[in-house]
Structure 1
Amino acid sequence: MDFIIGGLAGVGATIITNPMDVVKTRLQLQGELKAKTEQSTRYRGIFHALYVIARADGALALQKGLAPAMLLGFTMNSVRLGMYHVAEVQGWTKTKDGEISVNRAIFWSSASGVLSGVAANPTFVLKTRIQAVAHPSIAVGRQHSYKGMFDGIATIYRNEGMRGFFAGVSATCTRLAIGSAAQLTTFSTVKEELRSRGYWENSPTMLAFVASLFSSVLCVIFETPLDVVNTRLYNQGSGSHGAVLYTGIVDCITKIYKTEGFHGLYKGLGPLYLRIAPHTTLSLVIWDILNNMLIHKKL
């Protein structure tokens, strides 16, 4: 049940934040491996991107990749939040005195992030490629034409084999290990600190909401460079679709920094925050509410 609750929390948050994920993906692929002076700007920012995507491909294009994104939200968060909640319930994240141990919380949140990355990577790849596809006038990055989620699965398997579903998996696990450590450790620590000071003792929802706001900021700061790397690795595909641009995490970071500058590693920061902040808040609050409901039901 812990894992199902985590998955449902992820799905609920994904439906609302997917448009920002589409914008984030496009901005991260824009000007790929080109100096800033050589880049053609299709999207001039968050709101411009929302406008041109809706104008060129229709308003529904802002929900591109929603099906794999929902599957991703369920798969990733069921493993990540479910495993971390088990660790919390078992007391593995606390000291002998019952207080939050930052080191233990970091370990269990990172471990849950790595496992969730392995489990969810195929849906990450599929979601990113579908979100990247656009009208030629606003297209950025390599374009993979899939008729839908199932056609995408069949095409990737036919052209790239199982290996295609695990493109960028090392970067995914690294990002989720760091992101989960920042997100879940901060969430647990801040929530415990606020509770110990007497804040929102009778309002667990507000307590979870405030704690999630803190965790989302740290999550975005640490995750963005690796999120850019993930997007590039997911979207490049195999050598059968053209030259492979990146051979791995280090090669990708090095090439982005050399050609696009430090700014290139933080492309899509705005929409990533606008996706992660509400996604973190919604998923963690929903997760907390469902867990509290389950605890009260058991009592």
Structure 2
Amino acid sequence: MADAASQVLLGSGLTILSQPFVYVKVLIQVGFEPLPPTIGRNIFGRQVCQLPGLFCYAQHIASIDGRRGLFTGLTPRLCSGVLGTVVHGKVLQHYQECDKPEDSGSGNIQKEGSSSFDRVIKETTREMIARSAATVITHPFHVITLRSMIQFIGREAKYCGLCDSIATIYREEGVLGFFAGLIPRLLGDIISLWLCNSLAYLVNTYALDSGVSTMNEMKSYSQAVTGFFASMLTYPFVLVSNLMAVNNCGLAGGSPPYSPIYTSWIDCWCMLQKEGNMSRGNSLFFRKVPFGKTYCCDLRMLI
């Protein structure tokens, strides 16, 4: 019980601290660029035309809504985090209780096979079920969070309170409105989890020497690296999920001319891929001007 409470408190603290970053990221993902590009330098020192980064974007939001405005959408995101942590923990606890009778009778056998690929498949499957259950249950709060954030674009006040937002979605879209963008989000989580655990297993088993004294530390590093690599590969699923969650929801940020109306998440994926925007919002610091956008950014003015 104490572990669950500490996880909830830690998760809530991280959610509060990361809220301004998430807010800016969501606005960038939907394609809202209120600031003109500037002249900067890339890693090779060459002058390039780039869009303002995280801090400039956050400063722009604060200049309009104040510093408190950077925490728009925090309440439903906190609810999502707390509920997701509880559900995830309950599902894994259920599996642990089911394993207790087996552990008492075959402790030695399980120790010998604990590092096998079968063990990895078993643990990954359980983690997948736990994460999927938490994602499905908390997705309505995720939808409310995104929609309350993109109200900044059209200066609307349609999704303000949590209860009012729930009533609005149910009245206009029915139950399915709470699960807009769920499929690509689930697919991204599942693919990312399997990629991360499979790559970590391969690295720990075949690339690392078991005689190294700091083996446990090296394995934890490999888990982090493979997790980062897997999240980069599955980022398009996150982008498509967020766009579908706000698509045609009655807000300016989810409707033309800001955003086209997508018929399905596959249509959204194909359109983003055609435009070359599958990584939009992935970077918050070194942001290139998207292909096809026309901005007045003449490098000759600085020569």
TM-score (norm. length: structure 2):
0.67
TM-aligned CA deviation for residue 40 of structure 1? 7.3
TM-aligned CA deviation for residue 214 of structure 1? 2.6
* Cα contact 2:235–2:279 (8 A) shared by 1: yes
Work out whether 1:115 is the aligned partner of 2:136.
no
User: How far apart are the structure 1 equivalents of 2:283 and 2:236?
Assistant: 13
Partner AA of 2:262 in structure 1: Y
* Cα contact 2:77–2:145 (8 A) shared by 1: yes
What is aligned with 1:128? 146
TM-aligned CA deviation for residue 12 of structure 1? 3.2
Within 5 Å, give how 1:91-240 maps onto structure 2: 97-99=113-115, 101=117, 102-134=120-152, 136=154, 145-182=158-195, 197-199=212-214, 210=221, 213-214=224-225, 216-238=227-249
Task: Please identify which structure carries the higher helix content.
Answer: 1
What is aligned with 2:85? 77
User: How far apart are the structure 1 equivalents of 2:150 and 2:250?
Assistant: 18
User: How far apart are the structure 2 equivalents of 1:48 and 1:3?
Assistant: 37
| Unaligned 5+ runs, structure 2 | 37-50, 103-109, 286-303
* Cα contact 2:8–2:85 (8 A) shared by 1: yes
Identity %: 23
Instruction: After superposition, give the CA deviation of every residue in 1:50-92 in whole Å (9 maximum; x if it has no partner).
Output: 1211112211122111111111112223333553466578499
In structure 2, relative to structure 1, the CA distance for the partners of 1:105 and 1:135 (3 Å cut) is: same
User: How far apart are the structure 2 equivalents of 1:153 and 1:121?
Assistant: 12
User: How far apart are the structure 2 equivalents of 1:256 and 1:77?
Assistant: 32
TM-aligned CA deviation for residue 221 of structure 1? 0.7
User: How far apart are the structure 1 equivalents of 2:13 and 2:218?
Assistant: 19
In structure 2, relative to structure 1, the CA distance for the partners of 1:265 and 1:78 (3 Å cut) is: farther
Instruction: After superposition, give the CA deviation of every residue in 1:207-236 in whole Å (9 maximum; x if it has no partner).
Output: 998567435412431331011101111111
User: How far apart are the structure 2 equivalents of 1:195 and 1:75?
Assistant: 39
* Cα contact 2:148–2:160 (8 A) shared by 1: no
Partner AA of 1:131 in structure 2: M
TM-score (norm. length: structure 1):
0.68
* Cα contact 1:109–1:177 (8 A) shared by 2: no
* Cα contact 1:80–1:116 (8 A) shared by 2: yes
Partner AA of 1:256 in structure 2: L
| Unaligned 5+ runs, structure 1 | 32-38, 273-299
* Cα contact 2:191–2:234 (8 A) shared by 1: yes
Aligned positions, number? 252
Within 5 Å, give how 1:8-23 maps onto structure 2: 8-23=9-24
Q: Which of the numbers 258, 262, 273 marks the counterpart of 1:246?
A: 262
SS in 1 for 2:262: coil
Partner AA of 1:107 in structure 2: T
SS in 1 for 2:115: coil
In structure 2, relative to structure 1, the CA distance for the partners of 1:78 and 1:207 (3 Å cut) is: farther
Cα RMSD, aligned residues only: 4.0
